[in-house]
Structure 1
């Protein structure tokens, strides 16, 4: 990742605004590739986090198509589990923002802060589509 595309400072700002309940954040492409993360996780853990978030968002999109208005649109997905809370939102063209927080976190506040960040800097969070060989197109 080049300095021009490394926006980890954006994730640091989000975590600072939502501490102490938040643990990690990752920006990922909708197909599950980690673009950048807040640190604190190994590379394998961050990639797993991105893959899990992508999978949950994909299932939510399928539910929207089958049970919602048929568009597949998802504003936010949340998974609450023993020891944690995972919130995922659409973060721009082809990207998602996922945050892992303590189980006791306020999901409404967290979702609000995530949406606020995306509204302020969403243009930095765009992932161009990849062609069949997995190489980004301009």
Structure 2
């Protein structure tokens, strides 16, 4: 998966880190960062997607599932996108990033690899 993540980073100037993670915050893949930083981002993303889903439950239509979260902070942007069932794509970018291009490239990447990212539940129920 490294070359696919590298393509995203190369196609969008100002992208710093890319992390693919499971819904419970475990790093699946990374680009542009060391494993420790990727693990911290993945763990933070798990909490963020849970918070976004809780907010989503307040809307009367739809199932409240998180699709995209964008956070702007001093110095840059953070994007978290649902990639598949229980899998997410996170991108950290510098301040000068083209926000529309990031979103488009993330959607394209999810369309290409989403079905391969679906993570089964860690403790599936045993059907008797």
State if a TM-score over 0.5 links the two structures: yes
- For structure 2, the 5+ residue unaligned runs are none
Runs of 4+ in 1 over 4 A off after TM superposition: none
Distance (whole Å) between structure 2 residues aligned to residue 25 and residue 68 of structure 1 = 33
Match of 2:119 among 118, 123, 127: 127
**Length-normalised TM-score, structure 2:** 0.87
**Alpha-carbon RMSD:** 1.6
Contact 1:21–1:102 (Cα < 8 Å) also in 2: yes
Contact 1:14–1:114 (Cα < 8 Å) also in 2: yes
**Length-normalised TM-score, structure 1:** 0.82
Instruction: Give the secondary structure class of the aligned counterpart of 1:57.
Output: helix
Instruction: Give the secondary structure class of the aligned counterpart of 2:58.
Output: helix
Distance (whole Å) between structure 2 residues aligned to residue 125 and residue 84 of structure 1 = 27
Match of 1:12 among 6, 30, 48: 6
